[in-house]
Amino acid sequence: MSALQPPEISTDDTIALVSALELALNADGTTGAEEPTELDGRKLRAERGRSAVVNAAIELVNAGNPEPTIAEIAVASGVSERTIFRYFPDREALFSALVFEVVPRVAQYLSFDRPKRPLAERASALVAQRCDFVRIAGPFARSVETLSPRSSVAAVMLQLRRTRLRDQVIVWLGPELSADDSERIAVLDALLSRSVIEPLIEELGPDGAVRSLSDAIIRIVS
């Protein structure tokens, strides 16, 4: 999805996008039962085709390609470029579909449900959850960061992700933090970022990364 030029998005559209993403996050990866619908053959093929395109794009991103081109997605999905543009009028629409496919998959790692445990156990659980989030969502996070200067959807997603992760730190470590603890919150937020977690896991392994980050959090907030 290179050479992406974002369309102008109005304030109302941005608010609607943020609201929809927050709804997907708060659903915690679950959806209610939907009324069964009958699809004619053409609609069914279109739904399958759209799904194939979205899943192929996600697989390319997960394989390390943060900006797969339409040509690459066409090859991976078995759907022609022309047909892809029938399903998605532009690259921004396709990326939006990717976002709404991925967000419910990672919502459980962005939960505000703070466990009622001592600090050491809470810190360890938060770090382990954040490491899982980085492991699962890391490639898509890189895609969002890469596209955000040129994609309005990616820019909104990036800001929402940063806000959500920061708020999660505040909620989980709330008993040890005060309302004006902006400096410590900023340090904790940076400590639990992808740019810190990924190299730590590479050097120390998953368990070592969790232990070292948990110990650091306890020292900061104690």
pLDDT of residue 186 exceeding 60: yes
Q: Assign 26 a pLDDT band (cuts: 50, 70, 90).
A: low
Alpha helices in the chain (DSSP H): 11-26, 41-62, 70-77, 81-87, 91-106, 119-147, 152-172, 182-191, 194-221
Q: How confident is the model at residue 7 (pLDDT cuts 50, 70, 90)?
A: very low
Note if the pTM is more than 0.85.
no
Domain membership flag for residue 3? no
Structural domain of residue 51, as residue ranges?
Answer: 11-29+42-221
Asked whether residue 94 is assigned to any structural domain, the reply reads yes
Q: Within a domain: residue 5? A: no
pLDDT at 120: 96
The tally of domains found in the chain comes to: 1
Average pLDDT, the chain: 85
Q: Is residue 149 part of a domain?
A: yes
**Is 91 part of a structural domain of the chain?**
yes
Read off the CATH number of the domain in which 103 is found. Answer: 1.10.357.10
Please state, in angstroms and rounded to a whole number, the distance separating the CA atoms of residues 151 and 147: 6
**Least confident interval from 9-23, 125-139, 185-199:** 9-23
User: CB–CB of 109/136 below 8 Å?
Assistant: yes
Residue 35 forms part of a structural domain: no
Q: What percent of the chain has pLDDT over 70?
A: 81
Q: Is residue 4 part of a domain?
A: no
Task: Count other C-beta atoms under 10 Å from residue 33's C-beta.
Answer: 5
Give domain status of residue 6, yes or no.
Answer: no
Residue-level pLDDT at 204: 96
